Chain A
């Protein structure tokens, strides 16, 4: 029978930490699965515009991004403070969009080429002129599915 002993030489046993790695690994796997790597490092400042009727982009592998905004402070010296376009990791001109889209498309699987979506991530203060130029360029490149990236408006 259980007896309550007082005194005695017994010390409190240490809490076993043997399962701690398992717990941490579980967390780790959760984050590995649920997150995606940052696509690029932004070289332009982007504050997404706000909207309410948003649709989420489903297949990330079918989406390519065009970033539009004012260069970040460390690049202003070389690239000026005018609105610029960023494709992948570099600044680009409007005329580079078409070859970019075409090469990205040809790198995709053939049955998925028609599903290519271009997401335009532009700063909310961008003037429409450059966006219009991009859109015209995308039309010429036959990339007609586009998406204006925006964030949910808080009511």
Chain B
């Protein structure tokens, strides 16, 4: 060792410093992406004005009630949440033009730049009512089934028409399908049936 070289800065502790920072970020951050069911609330009711009853044909409404014991009543029948989806799908589609299901009316929709007449249940409405004592999980389950029913109906329509799933359609086609099967879930004004808990 005759030659003396310029001394290098000792960088061996750099790794430790970086490790410290790394661990700090690992601990303080959350990886999870926020997910959920998106909904749109109806605009607020005008306060003192007379409430106008909107005329809706009885056959166009699908009533879902959830009571404080988390039981689901759909169209006057007690149903299991697992069976709700099929029932709602049948209601939205009304393929056989059943007089007890919503009326099927022609609707002109712009598809791929052309106006097309599509027979669909434009005026249908799903009314969801819950009690103050209903459990949140049940409410989400029912909401989820309703959304799933819509998604499946749209998906089936898309597969039938274009042969591809709804999620792979272009934006314009997606909005056309949305127009044919619009999501119409109405949440009624709150009522208190089951007594305060």
Residues on A facing B (Cβ under 8 Å) = 17-18, 20-21, 24-25, 27-28, 31-32, 34-38, 49-57, 60, 63, 117, 119, 122-129, 131-132, 135-136, 138-140, 142-152
Contact = CB atoms under 8 A, between A and B. Distances in A.
Interface residues of B, number: 49
Interface of B: 11-12, 14-15, 17-19, 21-22, 25-26, 28-31, 33-44, 66, 130-137, 139-141, 143-144, 147-148, 151, 187, 190, 192, 196-197
Given A127-B134, A144-B41, A150 B22 contact: no
B136 A57 contact: no
A119 B44 contact: no
Contacts of B18: 21, 24-25, 28
A112 B187 CA distance: 27
Contacts of A139: 41-44
Contact of B38 (A20, A31, A145): A145
A35 B38 contact: no
A146 B137 contact: no
Nearest to A69: B136
Main secondary structure of the interface of B (DSSP, over half): mixed
B36 A150 contact: yes
B144 A125 contact: no
A128 B35 contact: no
A147 B38 contact: yes
B43 to A, nearest CB: 7
15 contacts: A20-B15, A28-B21, A38-B28, A52-B148, A124-B135, A124-B140, A128-B131, A128-B134, A128-B139, A136-B190, A139-B44, A145-B40, A146-B40, A148-B143, A150-B36
B35 A140 contact: no
Given A18-B11, A127-B133, A150 B37 contact: yes
B193 to A, nearest CB: 11
A147 B40 CA distance: 8
B40 A144 contact: yes
B35 to A, nearest CB: 4
A32 B197 CA distance: 46
Contact of B36 (A20, A55, A128): A55
A54 B37 CA distance: 5
B12 A55 contact: no
A151 B37 CA distance: 10
Contact of A131 (B12, B66, B136, B147): B136
A31 B25 contact: yes
A43 B39 CA distance: 26
Contacts of A63: 34
Contact of A50 (B11, B12, B137): B137
A125 B137 CA distance: 6
Contacts of B29: 31, 35-38
Contacts of A129: 132-133, 192, 196-197
A21 B19 CA distance: 8
B190 A132 contact: yes
